[in-house]
Every structure is written in structure tokens, then in C-alpha cells.
Amino acid sequence: MANVIVPTTKIRHYYEFLSNFTNPSSREDMAKSICASINNKTKLIDLIKESMKHFSKYCNTENFTNTKYKRKALARTDNDKKMYKNDKEVLYDLINRQSYLISNEGMREIDPRRATSSKYESGFNATGSGGGGIDFLAWDNDLNIPFIGEVKTRRDNDAFYALIQVLTYFTELSTVNQIERANIHNLFPQRQLKKNQKFCLGIIFSDYSQRSDVDKATLKNTKLIAEHVRKEIKQIHSIKFLNMERPFKKLEVL
């Protein structure tokens, strides 16, 4: 099989850039800066649109997952524990203990860039495009559209980082070629996607009540940014910020 060229978009570069900042206050300042400036908001929208156009060149009809590799099943979790230990426990409850986001174990850890034989545009082998990726895909029964979800446990990064991350995945899954690929492999068993399919994006926190004041301030600004993005990017129907606490009963809107 010939090498597939995997684009590396500007928003992916930005997402990777953000991972270099270990101090939560740094990203709080970034979110605040975008909120305070029309120019900075416009730059973010342009970044998303340019990235969507850039990634539209990617064409690969392979499955999003390697069907030769059998994933380890998620273990049943103890809902009586005080807090979630890791993202696997969160994913188990998302798939098995709530009803409006319809999902299954085959819809977790999906890499939109995955290709068996591939290179990045830089010429380097795309060895990183075969695993990881989107934490959680689902069908939003309330909105009747696909849901792209990023899971963040208590010790994970903040809302701003998570928003840029889920926007990166959105740009890599929402192109015409990728929607066709999703339909070929029945990525969303509930429905075939439309050519210009709208998506719901979601950041799903666990135990958000245990987060720092800095994280909570970052969430406030990030929600404002997300609303601006939603208004400007036509394929984004909504962006949700959700929380799960133990004992788990339902997803709560933050």
C-alpha cells in the first residue's frame, strides 16, 4: 500500500504547543486573552477554518481502528468509590451507566488520522497516527447528531486545553472524506452521516468539584470562547461542558 500523507494542521500544532505549559495559570491567561480581544477571537476562528480546509486533503478509506488488534475490554467499576481513578473508569460509566449519549466500546480511543502506511507532510513516518485520539464518540440522542468527547479526570489538563484538543479532533473528523470514511466503516452505528454533518463537541470532566479555583476561572473564559466558536463554525451545533461525580447518577452541565 502506498504511503498516505497525513496533514498536520495549525490547530494541531497549537494543541501540541499548549501541552508544553505545565502551569495552569499560563493557559488561564491565554483563555482570558482570547476572551478580551475581538482580534484574538478572529484569529482562533481563522485557525479552525484554515485547519478544516487543510485536513480536507486527507483521503484514507481504511478503518479508524486496527481490526487485527483486540482492545482490552473496560473493566466494571465500583460506583461506591469517592472519585474516579482514571479515564477508563469514566469511559465505563459513560458507556454503561448513562442513556442520552449512546456509545459502545468500539467508539472509544479513535484516531481520525490513523493509517497503516503513512507519512506526515514533513516527510517523517506518521508512527503516532495509529492509536489514541478521540476518547469518546457517541450519538447524542437529545440532539440526534454525533458527539465528539474528550474526557478529563481530576488531575488532567484544564478546560481551555481540552477545548483546543476537541476542536483539533473535530477538524480531523468533519471533512467530506472523513465523513465518507465514517459511513463506510459504520463509525456511528445509529446513523449515516450527512456530507456537511453537524457535530456536538463535549468536554467531560470527572469530579470537577475537586478542581482548583484557577481551573474554574479557566472554565468560565473557555465557555465564552466556545460559544463564539459555535456561532462562527457552521458544522459545530453545540459545545458542552459536562461533569461526572461519584456515585454516578447522571451527567451534569457545568
9-41 pLDDT, tens digit per residue, is 999 999 999 989 888 899 999 999 999 999 999
What is the DSSP code (8-state) at residue 50? H
Residue spans per domain, the chain: 4-62+80-253
- Distance CA(131)–CA(112), nearest Å, equals 9
pLDDT at 78 over 90: no
Omega into 247 within 30° of 0, i.e. cis?
yes
Contacts of 54 (CB under 8 A, 6+ apart): 7, 9, 10
Query: Do 76 and 145 touch, CB atoms closer than 8 A?
Result: no
Torsion angle of C-alpha atoms 35, 21, 199, 179, degrees rounded to 10: 140
Residue with cell 454525533: 146
Higher-confidence residue: 232 or 27?
232
DSSP state string for 103-118: --GGGEEE-TT--SSE
Angle (CA) 206 208 210, round 5°: 115
**Up-side HSE of residue 33: CA atoms within 13 Å toward CB?**
9
Render pLDDT for 108-162 as a digit per residue (tens, 0 to 9). 999 999 888 788 887 777 765 445 689 999 999 999 999 999 999 988 899 999 9
Going along 12-158, which residue ranges are E strands?
101-102, 108-110, 118-120, 134-140, 145-152
CA distance 72 to 176: 31
Query: CA 54, CA 13: separation in Å to the nearest integer?
Result: 13
Q: Is the pLDDT of residue 213 over 60?
A: yes
